């Protein structure tokens, strides 16, 4: 059975306050299964093996991972080892380093006896901040969508999105989805084209699950359909999330985003990037300097669906997980501070 997901916090502390509880995204939309993480090792596995994913959620999970390590042993050695372990769990989303660095700033100066408590409190604060940032992105994006809809008030506003930058990928609301949820709640008729997002199908499995739960009309399309729809006037705007925006405004996001930006540019469709400040990386000059995760080819060779996995080719496969959209193709960045045409 396919389930519908109502937005809620994707990560919370466990009941005893000493662990973290996350949704196992590998089971969605077939099963809603929460799992408890109890150690830095658990958090590292959950991030690396994509039980949870999405830039802000990776950061939040790592923050609790560091706190869980300190709850077991608050020595400098454990702190440094947990930081190194978690930082290496995935390479591309800068939110991971951002969250771990905020945690280090908080706990490093403290005596060992105070570290675990302070670390959990800082991880909670990182999560609360994420929710507030996404709500603000939603409000600024809502104004934008209202204006776009006013150009064609007689028909639904068609938005195309890629991957999952929704509440599952963040602590709540999502980045790219926050304006969509707010627009829908405000009575603006929104329809979303959901890129399936091969190879892991975050669009078909996760974004569609979220939009169903919120009652937002949507249609899943193959990743290659976007250009055709844009050329035929069926897309009013593209809104995507991001894993890292560099100093010059280049946008790293799920593989395939660049092709959507090219098609949008060629068809005068506005291309918006929902960008919370922890995803901005001023220390990395351009998109060429971002480490792009190369995942295992098995993710391309096998497709997971209800009831299991099937093999779709006998050949070997390459699996670059992210690409870079040059800043020149971005119409604007929807941030918590407003809609900006440059970062
Ligand atoms: C608000 S999430 C933004 C991005 O992290 C998202 O679009 C994305 O590319 C996620 O990739 P994933 O490999 O699923 O972690």
How confident is the prediction for the chain on average, in pLDDT?
Answer: 97
Please identify, by atom number, the ligand 1 atom nearest to the C-alpha of residue 174: 1
Q: Is the CB of 254 under 6 A from ligand 1?
A: yes
Whether 243 is catalytic is yes
Q: Is the CB of 56 under 6 A from ligand 1?
A: yes
For 11-129, CATH number out of 1.20.120.420, 3.40.50.970, 3.40.50.880, 3.40.190.10 equals 1.20.120.420
Q: What mean pLDDT is predicted for residues 196-215?
A: 97
Q: Is the CB of 133 under 6 A from ligand 1?
A: no
Alpha-carbon distances, residue 215 vs 7, 182, 187 (angstroms): 11, 12, 12
Q: What mean pLDDT is predicted for residues 228-237?
A: 98
ipTM of the complex: 0.99
Q: Is the CB of 273 under 6 A from ligand 1?
A: no
∠ CA 133-240-93, nearest 5°, is: 70
The secondary structure of residue 156, as a DSSP letter, is: P
Ligand 1 centre to CA of 70 (Å) is 28
| Cis ω for the linkage preceding 128 (within 30 of 0) | no
132-340: what CATH class? alpha beta
**CA–CA gap between residue 159 and residue 216 (Å, rounded):** 11
Give the per-residue pLDDT at 224. 97
Q: Is the CB of 253 under 6 A from ligand 1?
A: yes
Q: In this model, does residue 278 exceed pLDDT 70? A: yes
Q: Where in the chain is the domain with CATH 3.40.50.10470?
A: 132-340
DSSP 264-289: HHHTT--EEEE--GGGEETTS-SGGG
Cβ–Cβ under 8 Å, residues 74 and 185: no
Mutate to test the pocket of ligand 1, among 163, 199, 255 (most ligand atoms within 8 A of CB): 163
**CA–CA gap between residue 267 and residue 272 (Å, rounded):** 14
Cβ–Cβ under 8 Å, residues 229 and 193: yes
Q: Where in the chain is the domain with CATH 1.20.120.420?
A: 11-129
Q: How confident is the model at residue 8 (pLDDT cuts 50, 70, 90)?
A: confident
Cβ–Cβ under 8 Å, residues 219 and 179: no
Please identify, by atom number, the ligand 1 atom nearest to the C-alpha of residue 254: 9
Condensed to tens digits (0 to 9), the pLDDT of residues 80-128 reads 999 999 999 999 999 999 999 999 999 999 999 999 999 999 999 999 9
Ligand 1 centre to CA of 308 (Å) is 23
Q: In this model, does residue 2 exceed pLDDT 70? A: no
Q: Pick the residue with more confidence: 4 or 274?
A: 274
DSSP 11-76: EEE-TTSSSEEEE-GGGTTT---EEEE-SHHHHHHHHHTTSS-SHHHHHHHHHHHHHHHHHH--SH
Give the per-residue pLDDT at 307. 87
Phi, psi of 12 (to 5 degrees): -140, 165
DSSP 99-141: HHHHHHHHHTTS-HHHHHHHHHHHHHHHHHHHHHHHHHHHHHH
**CA 184 to centroid of chain Cα atoms:** 20
Cβ–Cβ under 8 Å, residues 29 and 22: no
């Amino acid at each position: 059975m396919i389930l519908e997901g109502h937005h809620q916090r994707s990560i919370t502390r466990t009941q005893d306050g000493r662990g973290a509880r996350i949704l196992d995204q590998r089971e969605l939309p077939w099963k809603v299964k929460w799992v408890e993480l109890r150690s830095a090792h658990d958090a590292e596995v959950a991030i690396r093996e994509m039980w949870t994913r999405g830039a802000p959620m990776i950061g939040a999970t790592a923050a609790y991972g560091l706190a869980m390590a300190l709850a077991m042993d608050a020595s400098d050695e454990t702190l440094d080892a947990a930081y190194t372990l978690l930082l290496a769990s995935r390479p591309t989303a800068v939110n991971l380093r951002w969250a771990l660095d905020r945690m280090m700033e908080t706990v490093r100066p403290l005596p060992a006896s105070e570290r675990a408590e302070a670390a959990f409190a800082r991880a909670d604060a990182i999560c609360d901040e994420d929710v507030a940032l996404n709500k603000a992105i939603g409000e600024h994006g809502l104004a934008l969508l209202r204006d776009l809809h006013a150009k064609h008030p007689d028909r639904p506003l068609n938005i195309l999105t890629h991957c999952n930058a929704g509440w599952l990928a963040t602590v709540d609301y999502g980045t790219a989805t926050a304006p969509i949820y707010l627009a829908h709640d405000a009575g603006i008729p929104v329809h979303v084209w959901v890129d399936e997002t091969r190879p892991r199908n975050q669009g078909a499995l996760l974004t569609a699950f979220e939009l169903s739960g919120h009652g937002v009309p949507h249609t899943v399309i193959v990743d290659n359909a976007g250009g055709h729809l844009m050329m035929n006037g069926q897309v009013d705007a593209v809104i995507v999330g991001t894993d890292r925006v560099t100093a010059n405004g280049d946008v790293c996001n799920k593989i395939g985003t660049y092709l959507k930006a090219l098609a949008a540019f060629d068809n005068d469709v506005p291309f918006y990037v929902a960008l919370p400040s922890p995803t901005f990386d001023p220390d990395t000059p351009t998109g060429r300097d971002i480490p792009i995760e190369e995942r295992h080819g098995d993710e391309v060779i096998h497709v997971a669906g209800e009831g299991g996995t099937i093999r779709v080719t006998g050949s070997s496969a390459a699996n670059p997980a992210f690409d870079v959209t040059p800043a020149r193709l971005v119409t604007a960045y929807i941030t918590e501070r407003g809609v900006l045409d440059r970062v």
